Structure 1
C-alpha cells in the first residue's frame, strides 16, 4: 500500500475538521469534491459565500456537508477580533486594527484553529508561505518545547533500497533559510517525530554535511556537529547521528568505512540538511531524477496543524495535504 493510501485511511479513521482559507479558489473547490467523496475530512471553506457557491456550481462541485465561513458576515467575527486583540495588544494592535486584520481569510481561518472551531488549516494555492506562517506564528504559535516551525518532504523513491525501501524524509527544504545549531537540532527532533506519527517509521536521523566524522574542518561542519550533540542530549531516545555525508548516511558499505559503529550511518531514513539551499536542491534532484513522489512541504512545529501549499499545486495535491493535516490533528 502506498504511503498516501495509508494516510488517507488514517484520516478516515478519526475524521477531523480542516479549514481551507482559499475557499473561492477553483482547485480548492475541486479538491473538496474528492475530500468529501472519500471521507477524508470535514471541510470549512473561508470566503464570500455567494462567490463560493457560484464557482462550485460552475465546476459541478456539490457543497452539501461543507461548511462555509464568510469573515464579513460570520457570527464568530467579534469573538475572533477580541481574541486577536488580546493576543497582539502588547504589539500595539488596536481593536479597530484587529477587526481589519481578522477579516482577512487566512487570519480568520487561523483564529478558527486557535479557538477550536477547526482542527487544522491548509492554504497556499494563491498565497505565499509567509502569508500563511505569519498569522500562524502570531496566533497559534509553536508547540511547547519547540522553538521553531520547520518543514519536511516525505519522499517515496521507486525501486530504491535506501531509507525504508525508498521512503525517506527530507528537512528543512522550505521554511528556514539558514538555521543555527539550536534550530537545526530542533528540526531534527521535529522530523523524527513526524516520521513516527505520519509514516510509522523507526526514525534514523542523519545530520548531513560535506564531512563525515571530522573528515573536513570548517565552521559549517562545526554547526552540524554541535547541532547533533544538542539533539542527542535533548532526545537520547532517538537515533540521531552526524556529521555525515550523504553516501555515509544511506549506503552501508560507505558507512562501514567512514562511520563504523554508528546506529544511523548506512541506515538513515531521515535526512536533515544543513540549510534550505541544500534541502531544496536535494529534494528536487531526487524528485526529478529518480521520479520520486514528493509529499509536502509538510509544516511541523506549530501547536496545531497548519500546512502550506505550492502555488503551482494541483487539486490532488490539496487533497493529500488535507489528509496529512487531518492525521496531524489526531495527535
Structure 2
C-alpha cells in the first residue's frame, strides 16, 4: 500500500477524521447531568453574564484554540478550498493536543473576502482563548491577521507567517554563533517573498539583523526600489536601493540563504559564491531549493544546512513553535502574541539545542548522535522539554511586555507544564525539589558509562545531587569532552593508591563468608559495585546507584553483602511507582523476594508506605491475592491474610491496610465500598503488595505495557544506606530520577 492509500485508510477508519469531543466531568448519574446542563448550568451562566472573565473559570475557553482557514494556500496543494482543507486543520488540532495539551475546534470558512473572514472570526471571540490562522494566501493573510489582532482581545497568530520565522530564527541564532559571526553583520538573501519570507525577514530584524543587509528575491529577481510601483506594500518593505539582478547575483558574497520558494533553483556554483562558512536554510517542501548533500559537497569549509524535511538534520518544523507559544499565551491569558513573545520563544529554542538531549529523543531519531553543532542547531519536534522551556519563556515575555492578564510564577508554572507530560513527572518533581533542598553525594558505580556521565552532568547542573563517578578519570574526561559536557565531576578511580582501607573493610565484613584478603583487594580494584558499596558503608558517599550494565541480581549482591538491610529491617524489596492519568500506584515486591512469607509481606508493606510518603502520598495498602477476604483458604491466601493481621497488631502502622483481596477489589471503588463495605480501606488502594515475585513482576509490566502506566523504579527499600539498582538499559532520565530518590533517602537518614 502506497503512502497516499495508507493515508486515506488512516483518515476514514472508524470514526472518520482525527478529532472527537470527550467529557471532562462525570456524567454517570442524574445528579451529574443536572449539574452539567439544566438546571445547574444556570449558575455559571449568570456569573459569566455579570463578569465575562468568569468564562475562563467555568468553561473550556482557557484551553481552547480555533484553527481557522479558508483553504486558499494549503502547503503543497495551493488553493483547494475550505472543505478540502479540513483534514489539514484537524491535523493541526492533533498537534496542538499532542504537544501542548491544547484543545481545538477547526473552523473552515468558505469565504474569500478578507473583511468577511475578519467579521466571522471576530464574532467567535466568546468561544476561543486564542485563534490560529492557517493556510490563508498572501497578501490577504497580512491584512486579516493585522485587523484581527487590533479588533480582538485574545491572541491571534498566523502560523504560516510566524511559525517558520520563529523556528528558523532560533536556527539562525545558533548557526551564527557556530560560524562566529554577529547577526547584525550577516548578509541575508531570501528566495521567495510570500507570507513566510516577509514574516521571517521582519523577525530576523527583531533578532538583531540589519534591514539593509537583507536582500529579497521573488520570481522576477531582486526586489529593488526601481520595481516599487509593481510591488504590494509588503514586498515594498524590503525593496533595496540596489542594481537589478537574479538570485545568483544576490547570493554572491552572502552569509545566509533563506529559501521559501520552490525546489531546485539553487546550484552548487551559487553556494560556492557565498561568503566563508555559509548558512543555508533551504526550506521549500517537499524538495528544497538545493539538496542537503549537494550543498554540503559544494564547499570545503563549514556549511550549516537546514531544510523543511525530517530525513535531514536541522528540520525547520513549525510544530516546534505554535503549540508551545499558544500554551504560554493561554496560560498567561495574553491579549496578543507580540514580538517580545516570539523572540522569547526563538531564544528558548536556541538555548535548548545546547542542552544534553534525552535518550528517548535520540532513540526516536534512529539513535543518531544529537549534540549542539552544525548538524544540530535546533531541537527535535519530539523533544518533550520544548513545552516547559518555550511556554514559560513566552508567558514571562507576555507578563514583561504587558500583554498578560494573569500573573504566573514562572518556576511553578514550568513544573505545572511538566506535569502535563505525565503524572510521573509531577511525582518526580516532588522528590527532585526535596533533593535540591539538600543535595547529597551519590556514587555512580558505572562511572565510565556514557549515560552515567550524562546523568552526572544533569545532577550537578540542576543541583539535585553531588555525583561521584567511579572509574578511570581519563576515560570519564574523554567521554565528557566528546559529549560536549562542560563540567568537573568528582571522579574516584579504584585503581589508584590509597584505598587499602576499603580492602580492609571488605575483608572484615566478608572474611567469615569465605573471602580472602587478596580476593577483597581484587574486588575493590576491579568491581565498582563492591567499591561503591564500601564507599557508602564507610560514609564517603551518601548513596549508591548501580545496575545499568549488570543483571539485577549481580548488581544487588554487593550492596546486600556490604551494606545490608536497616537495623529495623530484615528484608529489602523492589518497588515501582506506576503513574496513570489520574492515579498513582506503588507496586511491591517486583524485583527481590521470590516467595515471601507473611513476615516479609508485612515488612515490605511498611517500607513501601514509607516510600510513598517521600512522594507526599498518604499510603493505603492492599494485600493482593486471587481470594477476597477468606473466600478461598489455602497456604497461598493465608500468607497475605496473616500479613494484614501482623500489620494491624503493629503499633507503628498508622496507615490503612487490608486484604487478602483481588486486584480489582483493591482499585475499584464501587467493588471495594459496594460489596466489601467492612474493609479498612475507604478509598481504593495506592500501595499494592503482590503475593510473590512472579506476580509482582508480571503485574507491574502488564500495567506498564497494556495499562499505559509510566514506571519509575525499581526503588530499593529496606536497605541500611540508600542504594538503588537500575534496570539494564535504563535511560539518563531514569538514572537522574533514582538519584533524586536516593538523595531524599539520604536526607531521611
Matching residue of 2:630: 214
Match 1:225 to one of 638, 641, 644: 641
Matched, 1:79 2:495: no
Q: 8 Å contact 1:151–1:173 — kept in the other structure?
A: yes
Counterpart position of 1:297: 714
Give 1:280's aligned residue: 697
Give the SS at the match of 1:330: helix
Cα drift, residue 192 of structure 1: 0.9
Partner of 2:590: 173
Q: Is the 8 A contact 2:587 2:689 kept in 1?
A: yes
SS at match of 1:93: coil
Deviation at 1:54, TM superposition (A): 1.3
Instruction: Structure 2: state its 5+ residue gaps.
Output: 1-415, 417-425
- The answer to whether 1:23 aligns with 2:440 is no
In 1, Cα distance between equivalents of 2:665 and 2:682: 6
Q: 1:305 to 1:137 in 2, by over 3 A?
A: same
Q: Secondary structure at the match of 1:182?
A: helix
Query: Which runs of 5 or more residues in structure 1 are unaligned?
Result: 161-165
Q: Which residue in the other structure is 1:327 paired with? A: 744
Range moving further from structure 2, 203-212 or 242-251: 242-251
Larger Cα-atom Rg: 2
Partner of 2:510: 88
8 Å Cα contact 1:212-1:258 kept in structure 2 = no
Determine the structure 1 residue equivalent to 2:10.
Answer: none
For residues 312 and 157 of structure 1, the distance between their equivalents in structure 2, rounded to whole angstroms, comes to 23
Residue 309 of structure 1 and its aligned partner are, at CA, apart by: 0.8
> Structure 2 vs 1, CA of residues 144 and 252 (structure 1 numbering), >3 Å: closer, same or farther?
same
2:660 alignment counterpart: 243
Q: CA deviation at 1:231?
A: 2.5
* Secondary structure at 2:688 match in 1: strand
Deviation sequence 1:200-247 (CA, Å, 0-9, x none): 122111001111111122221111111221222234433221111112
Cα RMSD (Å): 1.4
DSSP-derived class of the 1:4 partner: helix
**1:57-76 alignment runs, 5 A limit:** 57-64=481-488, 66-75=489-498
- Which residue, 550, 566, 571 being the options, matches 1:143? 566
Q: Distance in 2 between matches of 1:140 and 1:124?
A: 16
| Secondary structure of residue in 2 paired with 1:291 | coil
TM-fit CA distance, 1:265: 5.7
Residue 684 of structure 2 corresponds to 267
Q: Secondary structure at the match of 1:18?
A: strand
- Are 2:533 and 1:110 aligned? yes
**SS across alignment from 2:691:** coil
Aligned residue in 2 for 1:163: none
Which of 561, 576, 579 matches 1:153?
A: 576
CA distance in 1 between counterparts of 2:428 and 2:633 reads 41
Which residue does the alignment assign to 1:312?
729
Which moved further from structure 2: 238-247 or 206-215? Answer: 238-247
Higher relative contact order (CA 8 A, sep 6+): 1
Q: Per the alignment, in what secondary structure is the counterpart of residue 237 of structure 1?
A: coil
Q: Provide the aligned length of Structure 1 versus Structure 2.
A: 322
C-alpha separation in 2, matches of 1:304 and 1:232: 28
The aligned residue for residue 149 of structure 2 is: none
Equivalent residue, structure 2, for 1:203: 619
Q: Give the match's secondary structure for 1:317.
A: helix
Structure 2 Cα separation of the partners of residues 52 and 118 of structure 1: 19
**Residue 11 of structure 1 aligns with which residue?**
435
Provide the C-alpha distance between the structure 2 equivalents of 1:237 and 1:318, rounded to a whole number of angstroms: 32
Match of 2:411 in 1: none
Aligned to 1:54: 478
Other-structure match for 1:119: 542
**Counterpart position of 2:523:** 101
Structure 2: how far apart are the matches of 1:304 and 1:132?
15
Question: Do 1:150 and 1:175's aligned partners in 2 also have CA atoms closer than 8 Å?
Answer: yes
- Answer whether contact 1:252 1:267 (CA < 8 A) is retained: yes
For residues 108 and 62 of structure 1, what CA distance do their matches in structure 2 show? 27
Contact 1:18/1:322 (<8 A) preserved: yes
Q: Is the 8 A contact 1:129 1:308 kept in 2?
A: yes
User: What is the CA–CA distance in structure 2 between the aligned matches of 1:259 and 1:112, rounded to whole Å?
Assistant: 50
Q: How far apart, in 1, do the equivalents of 2:589 and 2:472 lie?
A: 35
Give 1:60 deviation, angstroms.
Answer: 1.5
TM-score, normalised via structure 1 length: 0.93
Q: Which whole-Å CA distance do the structure 1 matches of 2:653 and 2:675 have between them?
A: 23
Whether the 8 Å contact between 2:552 and 2:728 is mirrored in structure 1 is no
1:111 shift after superposition: 0.7
In structure 2, the CA distance between the partners of 1:267 and 1:245, relative to structure 1 (3 Å rule), is same
1:254–1:266 Cα contact (<8 Å) kept: no
3-state SS of paired residue (2:544): strand
Other structure's SS at 1:125 match: coil
Deviates more, 1:268-277 or 1:215-224: 215-224
